[in-house]
């Protein structure tokens, strides 16, 4: 009986010890599981922080695209403005070069003017030189086309152009030959006209006139006016040969002088 009671006690003690171990194991397993869940949550939080630091939100991306677009527009505008400035500068340089060349031509032709007259079919003496405000005709030994030899009749005529501008044309005709050549000298000025220096032999001082009416002498100086935007650019050209005009021995049939202006 005592042995049986002793075995029962031992069996109960073992059961209690086993139950205690099972409870401790369960508690330990629970703690381990809870610890793993906590570590997993901390890891996810770290990953979220890491992603938010290295990535872009939709708002940040939109602002970045807008800033890049503004920069591109500014650069494109600056390049367009620079291109227009370069083109405008080249056009201005070309225009100034054309003006300089045209002024040199006019100066050379007028300073090389030769005072000639001719006899028409009615045996009347006619003068090549004619001077009006927007028209001038004279004979010279300087040709715009350098290959021409001999005297040429040069004619400058002002005509109305587009946009309120005036155009100065130069025409040459070789004396004694048929045919003529023309070229455009100026087309960017609002007003172009000539003036002639007239001095009465009985007076000490002369004056500038818009039309030359002296049938015996030629003017000492000619003034070319080029007006643009209320600025008057003028060139005074002295004539090397002045005084009484020289008569040629040829008649109209050979000279073929240009038609008189009405």
Q: Give the confidence band of 194 by pLDDT, cuts at 50, 70, 90.
A: very high
Is the pLDDT at 89 greater than 70, yes or no?
yes
Please state the rounded mean pLDDT for residues 94-123.
86
Q: Report the pLDDT averaged over residues 187-216.
A: 89
DSSP state letter for 245: P
Candidates 161, 164, 169, 123; CA nearest to 144 is: 169
Report the Cα–Cα distance between both ends of the chain, in Å, rounded. Answer: 167
Q: Please state whether beta strands 130-131 and 135-140 pair in parallel, antiparallel, or not at all (unpaired).
A: antiparallel
Lookup result for tokens 């006899």: 119
CA 226 to each of CA 13, 115, 168, 186, 229: distance values in angstroms, whole numbers, following the listed order:
131, 26, 10, 9, 10
Question: Sorting pLDDT into bands at 50, 70 and 90, what band is 90?
Answer: confident
Would the pLDDT of 2 be above 60?
A: no
Each residue's pLDDT tens digit, 154-184: 999 999 988 889 999 999 988 777 788 899 9
Token pair recorded at residue 145:
């086309």
Give me the percent of the chain exceeding a pLDDT of 70: 69
The band of 44, judged by pLDDT with boundaries at 50, 70 and 90, is: low
Q: Are 255 and 226 in contact (CB under 8 A)?
A: no
In terms of C-beta density within 10 A (0-12 exposed, 13-18 middle, 19 or more buried), how is residue 133 classed? Answer: middle
Contacts of 44 (CB under 8 A, 6+ apart): none
Tokens representing residue 80 in the block: 């367009």
In 3D space, the residue among 183, 186, 6, 177 whose CA is nearest the CA of residue 97 turns out to be 186
- Quote the pTM value: 0.61
Specify the pLDDT at position 158: 95
d(CA 155, CA 159): 13
Q: Which of 51-55, 110-114, 141-145, 176-180 has the lowest mean pLDDT?
A: 51-55
Q: Where are the domains of the chain?
A: 103-255
Helix (H, G, I), strand (E, B) or coil at 167: strand
Residue written as token pair 């007006």? 227
- How far, in Å, CA of 52 to CA of 57, rounded? 8
* Token code pair at residue 249: 């021995």
Token digits of residue 88: 């405008």
| DSSP symbols for 150-209 | S-EEEEEEEEE-STT-EEEEEEEEETTSS--EEEEEEEEESEEEEEEEE--TT-SS-EEE
135-146 pLDDT per residue, tens? 999 998 888 887
pLDDT band at 125 (very low <50, low <70, confident <90, very high): confident
Dihedral sign, Cα of residue 104, residue 245, residue 118, residue 133: positive
Rounded to 10 degrees, the C-alpha dihedral 106/109/115/119 comes to -90
Flag whether pLDDT at 129 surpasses 60. Answer: yes
Q: Is a pLDDT exceeding 80 seen at residue 250?
A: no
């Amino acid at each position: 009986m005592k042995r049986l009671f002793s075995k029962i006690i031992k069996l109960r003690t073992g059961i209690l010890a086993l139950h205690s171990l099972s409870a401790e194991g369960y508690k330990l397993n629970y703690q381990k599981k809870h610890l793993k869940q906590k570590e997993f949550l901390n890891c996810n939080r770290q990953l979220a922080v890491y992603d938010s630091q290295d990535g872009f939100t939709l708002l940040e991306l939109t602002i970045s695209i807008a800033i890049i677009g503004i920069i591109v527009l500014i650069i494109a505008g600056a390049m367009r403005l620079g291109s227009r400035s370069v083109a405008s500068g080249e056009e201005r340089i070309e225009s100034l070069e054309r003006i300089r060349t045209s002024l040199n031509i006019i100066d050379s032709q007028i300073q090389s003017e030769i005072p000639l007259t001719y006899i028409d079919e009615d045996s009347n003496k006619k003068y090549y030189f004619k001077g009006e405000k927007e028209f001038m005709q004279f004979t010279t030994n300087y040709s715009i086309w350098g290959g021409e030899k001999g005297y040429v009749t040069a004619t400058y005529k002002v005509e109305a152009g587009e946009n309120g501008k005036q155009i100065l044309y130069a025409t040459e005709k070789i004396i004694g030959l048929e045919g003529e050549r023309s070229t455009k000298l100026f087309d960017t000025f609002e007003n172009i006209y000539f003036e002639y220096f007239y001095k009465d032999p009985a007076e000490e001082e002369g004056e500038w006139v818009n039309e030359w009416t002296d049938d015996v002498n030629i003017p000492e100086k000619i003034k070319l006016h080029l007006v643009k935007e209320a600025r008057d650019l003028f060139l005074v050209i002295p004539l090397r040969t002045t005084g009484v005009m020289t008569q040629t021995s040829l008649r109209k049939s050979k000279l073929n002088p240009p038609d008189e202006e009405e």
